[in-house]
A and B are shown apart, each in its own frame.
Chain A
């Protein structure tokens, strides 16, 4: 999209750029941020659980594979393992090996989810878009115990970058990682640590979680200040109870039964308040002054100020430069913009 600096106006900026931005970005995302999803399932769950995954979010993955002990017309991929809790880590290992063998070049990121996990793919792609799949990274809901650097909750779903997947498979091939536990998420976390794969921070810019190991009604209802309930004991980051728990752009919820799966689908993709201007969006929080400044800088310099240290990687020049200017102002701009509040941006 070319920018005509002569006929610029801020009001046009808000509506045109950002909406066109989002539409184009969303479309681009599915081609630029390719996600292969594999769903851990079993034959007796296909009818009660997995079919609802297939009917809702499964189709939004670039590729979706339903991994089971047996191949079937569902379609499921048959792994050479038996069913049961003790076999979960073997299933995980075999699943990633299968994907590495057959699909390594078909995607950039590799998501593992359960057959009772609900995932919002668009939000996953958005979160991943800022990162490089050739780096050894892994994202999810960070837990502390058992592994020194921590590990990602299995139920909430976790994502491996392409490089992380290579290292996981190599770890087993070279004998550096072994099957040493029944708990698949801990086992994988240990191997990630051994293979020097970094844990990413999947929280949004306000510190709200995107991956959730339990359903939304565990986190959202307001609570009086209290000691951590049992389901928050493993949390790496300080948990927040009540509305601040969860990002608007949530990525996953777990222990979701069939009815809840369709309910979350309805909430995410269908039910909406007509005309409502969402509270957390760049346009409402960025003052016109800043937008003008961003545009002027863009137009004057004729190039985006891309500085990796500022952590503003994004698809398009315009958005990157706005982000960078905001960041710089946040650090040293208090003199120039005394009325500047904390800049909550999603970029």
Chain B
């Protein structure tokens, strides 16, 4: 365990240190220490008071508690360290309309070729119905979509990674995707319970260079760690993937199987590993600042908006260019598919700078 006093945010850490270090000693000498060292330190502080064995025992017990508490906070803070500098771009927006209009034809076609997406969809046998729905709906709009499963199952057509642990499975899928990317430079990771509008994902990353590291989605904070929420989909550029593959080799910083007593969710493990390579989570939002990645369903968001903004429900709710929604049933997803790609009022046309054609052999878009 590496921990530097004074560099941790958690007030409780400091309190415990002070408590442990100051109760028995005359000086509250705070130094960098490993867990064992802290017990020794405490014992040392008490050496002057070792007249009775009970003091020694108290010291040991206190040191032991201290050690456990440190380990506890260690896993929550995910080993943040002084190398992390403040990242400047936490919010990521699509290219503006003005910028798009300035582009030449050739630049536009370059960008169209560059912005192609490999979808990694992580399934398990119990999600069979959602697998079928994703397979029949939004995944058809990825330039390449691959389903990865924990174990094989009848009717489930997916690459069997033969791995029950979620984090280990995600690592394997990422490796497989990177090796089979061909000339695709953007990667989208989601579970089949998420619905994605790939065209809007492309629009978001259109002017971003995939040879730069990008890690985008709906960001949340856990202590000092900014991570992208899994439920609303994770976007990674080619460079971010490359760096991930590299750090996967580092068993200390980015272990395949965690050493903690409890499991850290894979979304946070991913964020931690990426942070070691200098890649930070960015929140995808539209020009007005509305989040593009949602883990809630459309009806849930509309319902929330009806409570909070009754005068302007739809305007306040969700972006026109939303990318993901979560927690929707298969029939709701099929209705959403119709709502996105088909249902529209006659006469409302848009002069978009890019063109995305409907996929072949599909009848629901």
Contact check, A276 vs B199: say whether CB atoms are below 8 A apart.
yes
Subset of 30 A-B contacts with CB under 8 Å: A23-B349, A121-B345, A125-B346, A126-B347, A216-B335, A216-B338, A217-B331, A217-B335, A220-B337, A221-B330, A222-B334, A243-B338, A250-B343, A262-B313, A264-B339, A267-B336, A267-B338, A267-B343, A269-B348, A271-B318, A271-B320, A274-B200, A274-B203, A275-B199, A275-B202, A275-B354, A275-B356, A277-B357, A279-B365, A280-B342
Q: Which residues of A contact B354 (CB under 8 A)?
A: 274-275
Determine which residue in A268, A273, A279 has the highest number of CB atoms from chain B within 10 A of its CB, and name it: A273
Number of A-B contacts (CB under 8 A): 158
Q: Measured between C-beta atoms, what is the minimum distance from A80 to chain B in Å?
A: 33
Determine which residue in A122, A125, A216 has the highest number of CB atoms from chain B within 10 A of its CB, and name it: A216
Contacts of B290-347 to chain A: CB distance below 8 A: 298-299, 302-303, 305-306, 313-314, 317-318, 320-322, 330-332, 334-347
Instruction: Pick the contact of A268: B317, B345, B355 (CB < 8 A).
Output: B345
Q: Measured between C-beta atoms, what is the minimum distance from B98 to chain A in Å?
A: 16
Q: Which residue of B lies closest to A129 (CB)?
A: B346
Q: Which residues of A contact B345 (CB under 8 A)?
A: 26, 120-123, 249, 268-269
Interface residues on chain B, number (Cβ under 8 Å): 52
Q: Which residue of B lies closest to A60 (CB)?
A: B345
A246 at interface (Cβ–Cβ under 8 A)? yes
Contact check, A248 vs B344: say whether CB atoms are below 8 A apart.
yes
Q: Measured between C-beta atoms, what is the minimum distance from B66 to chain A in Å?
A: 52
- Mask: chain B, 191-211; 1 = CB below 8 Å from A; 0 = not: 000000111101100000000
Instruction: Pick the contact of B320: A221, A250, A270 (CB < 8 A).
Output: A270
Contact check, A266 vs B340: say whether CB atoms are below 8 A apart.
no
Contact check, B353 vs A275: say whether CB atoms are below 8 A apart.
yes
> Sorted from nearest, which 9 A-B pairs have the closest CB atoms?
A26-B347, A267-B339, A122-B345, A273-B199, A275-B354, A274-B203, A243-B364, A126-B346, A275-B352
Contact check, A259 vs B303: say whether CB atoms are below 8 A apart.
yes
Give Cα A263–Cα B335 distance, bound, in whole angstroms. Answer: 11
Contact check, A23 vs B347: say whether CB atoms are below 8 A apart.
yes
Q: Which residues of A contact B341 (CB under 8 A)?
A: 273, 276, 278-279
Give Cα A262–Cα B306 distance, bound, in whole angstroms. Answer: 9
Q: Which residue of B lies closest to A25 (CB)?
A: B347
Q: Which of A's residues lie within 8 Å of B, judged by CB?
A: 19, 22-23, 25-27, 29, 55-56, 120-123, 125-126, 216-217, 220-222, 242-244, 246, 248-250, 258-260, 262-280
Q: Measured between C-beta atoms, what is the minimum distance from B101 to chain A in Å?
A: 14
Q: Which residues of A contact B348 (CB under 8 A)?
A: 22, 26, 122, 269
Q: Measured between C-beta atoms, what is the minimum distance from A34 to chain B in Å?
A: 16
Contact check, B302 vs A263: say whether CB atoms are below 8 A apart.
yes
Q: Which residue of B lies closest to A122 (CB)?
A: B345
Give Cα A23–Cα B348 distance, bound, in whole angstroms. Answer: 7
Known A122-B346, A271-B320, A272-B340; contact A221-B199, beta-carbon cutoff 8 A:
no
Instruction: Pick the contact of B342: A126, A277, A278 (CB < 8 A).
Output: A278
Q: Which of B's residues lie within 8 Å of A, judged by CB?
A: 136, 141, 197-200, 202-203, 298-299, 302-303, 305-306, 313-314, 317-318, 320-322, 330-332, 334-358, 363-365
Q: Which residue of B lies closest to A269 (CB)?
A: B345
Determine which residue in B335, B336, B347 has the highest number of CB atoms from chain A within 10 A of its CB, and name it: B347
Instruction: Pick the contact of A26: B342, B346, B355 (CB < 8 A).
Output: B346
Known A23-B349, A217-B335; contact A273-B320, beta-carbon cutoff 8 A:
no
Instruction: Pick the contact of A275: B303, B330, B355 (CB < 8 A).
Output: B355
Q: Which residue of A lies closest to B346 (CB)?
A: A126
Contact check, A275 vs B203: say whether CB atoms are below 8 A apart.
yes
Give Cα A273–Cα B306 distance, bound, in whole angstroms. Answer: 24
Q: Which residues of B contact A263 (CB under 8 A)?
A: 298-299, 302, 339
Q: Which residue of B lies closest to A24 (CB)?
A: B347
Instruction: Pick the contact of B347: A122, A248, A270, A272 (CB < 8 A).
Output: A122
Give Cα A276–Cα B317 distance, bound, in whole angstroms. Answer: 23
Give Cα A250–Cα B346 distance, bound, in whole angstroms. Answer: 10
Q: Which residues of B contact A280 (CB under 8 A)?
A: 342
Give Cα A308–Cα B53 distance, bound, in whole angstroms. Answer: 110
Contact check, A19 vs B203: say whether CB atoms are below 8 A apart.
no
Q: Measured between C-beta atoms, what is the minimum distance from A250 to chain B in Å?
A: 6
Q: Which residue of A lies closest to B354 (CB)?
A: A275
Give Cα A258–Cα B307 distance, bound, in whole angstroms. Answer: 12
Give Cα A221–Cα B332 distance, bound, in whole angstroms. Answer: 8
Give Cα A269–Cα B315 distance, bound, in whole angstroms. Answer: 11
Contact check, B302 vs A262: say whether CB atoms are below 8 A apart.
yes
Contact check, B320 vs A246: say whether CB atoms are below 8 A apart.
no
Give Cα A26–Cα B322 distance, bound, in whole angstroms. Answer: 26
Q: Which residues of B contact A267 (CB under 8 A)?
A: 298, 336, 338-340, 343
Known A122-B347, A243-B363, A266-B314; contact A274-B202, beta-carbon cutoff 8 A:
yes
Q: Which residues of B contact A249 (CB under 8 A)?
A: 344-346
Give Cα A258–Cα B349 distance, bound, in whole angstroms. Answer: 27
Determine which residue in B197, B302, B337, B354 has the highest number of CB atoms from chain A within 10 A of its CB, and name it: B302
